[in-house]
Amino acid sequence: MAYPPAAHSSPPRQPSVKVILAAADVSRVVDRIAHQILEKTQGAADTVLLGIPTRGVPLAKRLAARISTFEDVTVPVGVLDITLYRDDLRRHATRAVGPTDLPPGGIDGKRVVLVDDVLFSGRTVRAALDALSDVGRPASVQLAVLVDRGHRQLPIRADYVGKNIPTALAENVKVTLAETDGTDEVRLFGGAHS
Amino acid sequence: MIRHLLSGADLDADTATLVLDTAAEMATVAGREVKKLPALRGRTVVNLFYEDSTRTRISFEAAAKRLSADVINFSAKGSSVAKGESLKDTALTLQAMGADAVVVRHPASGAPHRLADWVDGSVVNAGDGTHEHPTQALLDAYTMRSRLGRLAGLHVAIVGDVLHSRVARSNVLLLSTLGAKVTLVGPPTLIPRDISPALAPGTDVSYDLDTVLPGVDVVMMLRVQRERMSDSYFPSAREYARRYGLDGPRMRRLPEHAIVMHPGPMNRGMEITPEVADSSRSTIVEQVANGVSVRMAVLYLLLGGNNR
């Protein structure tokens, strides 16, 4: 069996990396959220999934695909770009604006489920709520995230959580998905021990 | 991102494409119920206009307001400029008011470049003398791209008073950056003699409109500036219209897909006939709408982040 060269030459201080969810876990978690959405929305009628770029978009598409497998309903999927609504625009070099793409039926009067990969400070979701109110008036808004890592800075919570990961502020949670990064994985970087 | 937008040559191909892509996203705001984005909340944009202009000033004003910036309009008429205040003193006044961006139109070529040395904010050239008008070139490029799907490899004829046209100059610079080929067409008296191939690769000159038309994707008609007519650049308005005006029969020599552009304001019957201006090939009204989107993109990219 061949080992990658890195396994032989271990550097003195490697930042610790822990795999929290492997590919099979990610797909189980997505299945569970899809079931929960169906349960909580009584069969996903009048429901629209809006992914927040980057990784919320493939997650929303996967959820819609799983929902249609489980119950044979088609849930419209869209993209909600929040760049121009961020509260930290001036702290960074100008950010590129991405497309916002609402499903043809729109979102007025619908139940909108916002989908993102990681819930952390809550600021992204705050921006998404502002963006949402400028593009329509949904009947209600829910939030689905793959990972909740805590440390909220705003009074925001998720309706559907794939995995709660207690973290230290110094740690970093990284989600990779097959569509955007090649593999499905959730990893925890940094932390006290190495 | 660059700090000022003074010339069509300030943008490399990547930055120009970023502006056009951002403009495409800004355009979707025009179709929404709430035509407003919060990105420039608390920023101040001053429109400093030393020359009469309706569409450019209104376009910049609409763009800044849609991005939630505060807009101060300053026109030379009825201001202390009429009392003899210099450009520099006006600039220092604007500076003291905390202008984050100054959009300037000035009859003197190069005035925006001087202004950029005097203020801390971003300067956007909205037309200086016979020199440049970069946001017009961007909106023209945006219009071509949205109508024809690409810019690289397009053949664009710019027809008329190229010598005095800031629109033409900025377009030549930007279009050559983006890989389009430009042919300048007009009477020899109105074509500059010093077009450097190094500055605008792929640009050539023709004095005969009819031979150029069958091979172009875009024909951009320039306004004949009435103040030039007495300067004997051409014998008479009728002769000019006969040789370089775009009328119905000439339009039908264009390839099927070709579009007709005009930066406005038009002299109907002079450089363009009503039949052409109101035809389905004409993008003249589209250009105005695209102008707001492109200027939103420029203001956002200059002011939206921390680019200092």
Mark yes or no for CB contact A97/B25 under 8 Å. Answer: yes
Structure tokens at A19: 């795999």
Q: How confident is the model at residue A181 (pLDDT cuts 50, 70, 90)?
A: very high
**Interface mutation vs chain A, best among B300, B302, B303, most A CBs within 10 Å:** B300
Catalytic residue flag (residue B83): yes
The pLDDT score that the predictor gives to residue A139 is 97
Q: B304 and A95 in contact by Cβ < 8 A?
A: yes
Q: Is B133 a catalytic residue?
A: yes
Residue by residue, pLDDT tens for chain B (308 residues) are: 789 999 999 999 999 999 999 999 999 998 888 899 999 999 999 999 999 888 899 999 999 999 999 999 988 776 777 777 899 999 999 889 899 999 999 999 999 999 999 999 999 999 999 999 999 999 999 999 999 999 999 999 999 999 999 999 999 999 999 999 999 999 999 998 877 676 777 899 999 999 999 999 999 999 988 776 677 888 888 899 999 999 999 999 999 999 999 998 999 999 999 999 999 999 999 999 999 999 999 999 999 988 76
Residue A107: its chain B contacts at CB < 8 A?
A: none
What ipTM did this prediction achieve? 0.85
DSSP B217: S
For residue A11, what pLDDT band results from cuts at 50, 70 and 90? low
Sequence-distant (6+) residues with CB within 8 A of B221 are B159, B160, B246, B260, B261, B262, B266, B271, B272
Q: Evaluate if residue A176 carries a pLDDT over 90.
A: yes
Q: Of the residues B4, B43, B44, B56, which is catalytic?
A: B56
- Three-class secondary structure of residue B253 per DSSP: coil
Peptide bond connecting A58 to the previous residue in cis, omega within 30 degrees of 0: no
Global pTM?
0.91
For residue A51, list its beta bridge partners.
A79, A115
Q: Which helix (H) or strand (E) segment is A144 a member of?
A: strand A140-148
User: Are A94 and B36 in contact (CB < 8 Å)?
Assistant: no
More confident residue, A8 or A15: A15
Instruction: Measure B62 CA to nearest chain A CA, in Å.
Output: 17
Active site residue B36: no
Architecture label for domain B134-284: 3-Layer(aba) Sandwich (3.40)
Q: Do B305 and A99 touch (CB under 8 A)?
A: no
| N- to C-terminal Cα separation, chain A | 26
pLDDT above 70 for A179: yes
Residue A69 has pLDDT above 50, yes or no: yes
Q: Does B179 touch chain A (CB under 8 A)?
A: no
Write the DSSP symbol of residue B174. Answer: H
- Pairing mode, strands A185-189 and B44-49: unpaired
Q: What is the pLDDT of residues A107-122, one digit of tens each?
A: 999 999 999 999 999 9
User: Which of A175, A39, A43, A45 lies closest to A115, judged by CA?
Assistant: A175
Tell me the average pLDDT across A83-99: 93
If contacts are CB pairs under 8 Å, which of residues 1-30 in chain B contact chain A? 1, 18, 21-22, 25-26, 28
For chain A, what is the mean pLDDT?
Answer: 91
Domain at B8-132+288-303, CATH homologous superfamily: Aspartate/ornithine carbamoyltransferase (3.40.50.1370)
Residues of chain B with CATH 3.40.50.1370: 8-132+288-303, 134-284
CB–CB contact A93 B307 (8 Å): yes
Residues in chain A: 194
Question: Of chain B residues 29-88, which have a CB less than 8 A from chain A?
Answer: 32-34, 36-39, 67
pLDDT, position B138:
98
Closest partner residue to A89 (CB to CB) among B21, B22, B305 is B305
Find which of B1, B22, B122 to mutate to test the A interface (most A CBs within 10 Å of its CB).
Answer: B22
- Determine the pLDDT at residue A32: 98
DSSP state of B84: T
CA separation for the pair A113, A46 (Å, rounded):
11
Give CATH for domain A24-165: 3.40.50.2020
- Cβ–Cβ of B37/A134 closer than 8 Å? yes
Whether chain A has a CB inside 8 Å of the CB on B117: the answer is no
Say what the pLDDT of residue B225 is: 81
Sign of CA dihedral B103, B108, B109, B114: negative
Q: Is B133 labelled as part of a ligand binding site?
A: yes
Task: Say what the pLDDT of residue B308 is.
Answer: 61
Of B28, B34, B305, the CB nearest to A95: B305
